Chain A
Amino acid sequence: MNLTLYVWRQKGPDEPGRLEQYEAKDISPEMSFLEMLDVVNEDLIKGGKEPIAFDHDCREGICGMCSQVINGIPHGPQEKTTVCQLHMRHFKEGDILYIEPWRARAFPVIKDLIVDRSALERIIRSGGYISVHTGGVPDANAILIPKADAETAMDASECIGCGACIAACPNGSAMLFTAAKVAHLAMLPQGRVEAAQRVCVMTEAMLKEGFGNCGNHYECQAACPKGIKVQFIAKLNREFMKAQTKDTGRRLVSEPFSG
């Protein structure tokens, strides 16, 4: 099949960008979306032009590297599917596709379709962990965890950190991303100990990075390739309230998280 692409081209963070038109020719339905772009890029290179820069690595939907907005939808039209797992059989002859990078204040464009997602790193760094050293821990079966809790923790922990939730949110909020980590750790007995500090410092870090607030649009859930549910945002809010009502709650916010 043949398609027309309008792709966001931008040389660097401070350069102006614009959509440029390309033809994708002889695309087979078995190709993945990125393989289609590979074909376009090979043509561009042969024609002496600069290929389109885009992030990708595993091409299996797990590393969270790929990040493109296709016709206004992060990761494209296929539900619960990263762009690297999206296949061309979901498109048809003559389709016109607009391909853009993640758009959010906290994600500056580096080049073409590649954005800087280091803000997410800093959220995790603020407290998205259990403060355990290597060694000296109890036997893995010493603390039992109800199956349902372990499963819920896993549901949250499946987040691949791609940032589609933020790109989809009208407010550019990182609530789902942050909530998934807060909920994952709060569901487990090992993570409960620091749950109050964690939710406070992570929320604070999120706001500092310039992410917007949650307005209950649920666009994040719709865009999430892993199907992470907004119920985790409710969990974050509950954890936050609980932390505030603890008399030590406020103090913990400004205290550095144990290193």
Chain B
Amino acid sequence: MLDGKCPSGPLAEKWDKRCREMKLVNPANKRKYTIIVVGTGLAGASTAATLGELGYNVEAFCYQDSPRRGHSIAAQGGINAAKNYPGDGDSISRLFYDTIKGGDFRAREANVYRLAMVSNTIIDQCVAQGVPFARDYAGYLENRSFGGAQVSRTFYARGQTGQQLLLGAYAALSRQVKAGTVRLHPRTEMLDLVVVDGEAKGITVRDLVTGAMSSYAGDAVCLCTGGYANVFYLSTNAMGSNVTATYRAYKKGAFFANPCYTQIHPTCIPVSGDHQSKLTLMSESLRNDGRVWVPKEKGNRRAPHEIPESERDYFLERKYPSYGNLAPRDIASRAAKEVCDEGRGVGPGGRGVYLDFAEAIGRLGEEKIRERYGNLFDMYEKITAENAYKEPMRIYPAPHYTMGGLWVDYDLQSTIPGLFVLGEANFSDHGANRLGASALMQGLADGYFIIPYTIANYLARTQPGKVSRDHAEFRKSREEVDALTKKLLSLKGNRTVNEFHRELGKIMWEYVGMARSEEGLKEALKLIPELRAEFWENVKVPGNGAELNQQLEKACRVADFLEFGELMARDALHRNESCGGHFRVEYQMPDGEARRDDENFCYVAAWEFRGVDKEPELHKEPLVFENVPLAVRSYK
């Protein structure tokens, strides 16, 4: 049985208690320790900057040409905190409760409470860095609301909150690079974790410009490499987002937790054709002012403005009167799918629902709406050539975020000592469904305010510089990675990497997507290994390894998705209940809502790698709810 190692005692005192117990590294000794930070999105940049400030020696890696381009940059809507500035009844315990409930009671209480506790300091920190959050005319910070909350606790910077937060963290990081505490390795991809005597001591990377393979040794490794939604091929993630770093750590012994918990976001621009390479999110914040509807009748072909009020079905407002259009994502997505399955969807192929601003524009004026969401409306127009001020947007759910990730304990340490996992890459705080504006909060909480304490506790017990990259394990790791890339280049098959990725995405969307069934998951477990086998015989990767080779980069990532997809399906198949983003058609209430099974599944499923074509081993971490009674999640 897995132990999350949460401190005992009252919820509100756990983190303080833990901080008090933890060992410290003396300031003069910090520079003797080298910490490897992989990923420089919000989680990674905040980690590297803060550890650098403390005096550690940091090696930071990302695959883009600059940390400022990490996928966090694309986050639009906002970041939550329990400041209660609007005085609408928010508090740390309410944010805690909303997050536990939003996650459908599948997250650890102690972690979530700590997250809510540090949320306020994040906003203070970002303002001090110069993040230009929205303000009112008196100069105070403004808030808006997001799904799954009845208070306004979301801080935002137009529709580019992630950009502004990342630029803040990037600024802090740049300052440390200049100070010489952090060395930055852009255009560098981690392809393996090096474990020596059971502890994480380094990584093997490929320089994406020269193709050179090399290793870095450190006293601890932090993975901040983001989520794996690109397993679906089409998602709202950046093109390069991948599971490679975390999956390869999994193959080296780190357990992977709850891989089947994936979030399908309700408000994305619908697919327009086969050429589509990615999907674009329209921030959830739009649901503050936009109303979601479809025609009441099936197979309607009229333009939206020709459909009178009485013939419209505002299905979220109808089904969830107290939360209305701000119902949580999993619920809103499934509801949209349901009305489309009934044949009431709109737009090409009937795969879309309207998000209508007419009422808000009537009430507030077009100017106000432009001020709030101008860039989103522009983006919508660029992609669809439609003007959302004049006619409703068309939206449809799309893969967006992954709650699953490497298993970590309360200290954010994985099952491999010395390997810490932060941000979207870990599984820790969102249970089976993440609430809007909480990912940015979690990434920054992990990086600025948690890891600096917990990593010291690990380092204090290790001797700095114990292992160098001449160690045999490093050589072995380089040889393995080298062999893998050589193999990919030697196959010279007939199908491109993209074709395999697209086919995998279709399988995942069809069988491991928004609604899953035993039969479908079993089908996926048959199809994925077949596709993988074909990949390893018939993929065509042009060029060679000793140069900038984007096809080779992609082939490495797709190779991992082809194994990881199977793990996701297996996890989904074993979880005989519906909860949050995991919806099994066999387990639903008479009204179609998710039916959880707390008796049998109130645990974190953490999988241990046993070999590529072997079944992984399941480990369970029981979830204990001492402060929030387990209840049916209702947003009605």
Contacts and interface: CB of A to CB of B under 8 A. Distances in A.
B385 A87 contact: yes
Chain B: interface residue count, which band?
A: 35 or more
A252 interface: no
Contacts of B272: 30
Contacts of A154: 132, 157-158, 164
Interface in A52-92: 53, 55-65, 78, 80-81, 85-87, 89
A188 B74 contact: no
A205 B604 CA distance: 51
A125 B276 contact: no
Contacts of B547: 11-12, 111
A58 B221 CA distance: 26
A28 B275 contact: yes
Nearest to A150: B135
Nearest to A185: B130
Interface string B465-500: 000000000000000000000000000000010110
Question: Which one of B130, B135, B238 has the greatest number of beta carbons of chain A within 10 Å?
Answer: B130
A130 B128 contact: yes
Given A53-B548, A134-B452, A31 B133 contact: no
B174 A128 contact: yes
A35 interface: yes
Contact of A188 (B66, B130, B167): B130
Given A111-B548, A120-B66, A153 B130 contact: yes
Contacts of A53: 548, 550
Contacts of A200: none
B136 interface: yes
B275 A31 contact: yes
Interface stretch (B9-17, B118-126, B312-320, B360-368): B118-126
A134 B50 contact: yes
Question: Which one of A45, A117, A133, A140 has the greatest number of beta carbons of chain B within 10 Å?
Answer: A140
A221 B374 CA distance: 20
B21 to A, nearest CB: 20
B199 interface: no
Interface stretch (A141-149, A165-173, A231-239, A243-251): A141-149
Contact of B542 (A50, A111, A120, A185): A50
Interface of A: 11-12, 28, 30-32, 34-35, 38-39, 42, 45-46, 48-51, 53, 55-65, 78, 80-81, 85-87, 89, 110-111, 114, 116-118, 120-121, 124-126, 128-135, 137-141, 143-147, 150-151, 153-154, 157-158, 160-161, 184-185, 187-188, 190-191, 257, 259
Interface of B: 46, 49-50, 53, 64-66, 68-71, 73-74, 83, 85, 121, 123-130, 132-141, 157-158, 160, 163-164, 167, 170-172, 174-175, 177-180, 184, 186, 209, 238-240, 272-273, 275-278, 280, 378-379, 382-383, 385, 448-449, 452, 496, 498-499, 540, 542-543, 547-548, 550-551
